[in-house]
């Protein structure tokens, strides 16, 4: 599950060791500076889905219309939201839990 670059990131933590371990073990990152929120561009959607399930990480899936993105959202051990953004072409044959159309339909009821 290679991450290609940080899109945005912010982390505040009372448990920095557990946080470091989670980002290293679950997302394959290396220790460095410590921000407080995270959105990353990633590759290998199907492998990432399997990897997260193996680590028993709860996540939600969304297709972002107009951005050609397939997104995974999860929380680190501190409750900080982490967003992984994949090229939508990697999601061929995968149906997300939510799409922009589904959100719009809920709001128009």
Question: Residue 54 belongs to what domain range?
Answer: 3-107
pLDDT band for 6, please (50, 70, 90 cuts).
low
Closest among 28, 31, 33, 11 to 77, alpha carbons compared: 11
Report how far Cα 81 is from the mean position of its chain's Cα atoms.
Answer: 8
Q: What is the CATH number of the domain that holds 9?
A: 3.10.180.10
What is the bridge-based pairing of β-strands 38-42 and 69-75?
unpaired
Answer yes or no: pTM beyond 0.85: no
Burial of 104 (0-12, 13-18, 19+ CB in 10 A): exposed
Report how far Cα 49 is from the mean position of its chain's Cα atoms.
Answer: 10
pLDDT in tens, 55-96: 999 999 998 766 788 999 999 887 888 899 999 899 888 877
Closest among 45, 47, 103 to 71, alpha carbons compared: 45
**Domain count across the chain:** 1
Predicted pLDDT at 104: 66
């Amino acid at each position: 599950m290679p991450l290609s670059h940080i899109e945005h990131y912010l982390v505040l933590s009372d448990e920095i060791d557990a946080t470091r371990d989670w980002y290293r073990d679950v997302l394959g990152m290396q220790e460095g500076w410590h921000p407080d929120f995270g959105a990353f561009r990633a590759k290998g959607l199907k492998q990432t889905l399997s990897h997260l399930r193996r680590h028993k990480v709860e996540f939600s899936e969304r297709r972002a219309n107009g951005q050609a993105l397939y997104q995974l959202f999860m929380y680190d051990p501190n409750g900080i939201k982490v967003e992984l953004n994949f090229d939508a072409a990697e999601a061929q044959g995968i149906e997300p839990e939510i799409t922009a159309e589904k959100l719009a339909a809920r709001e128009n009821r």
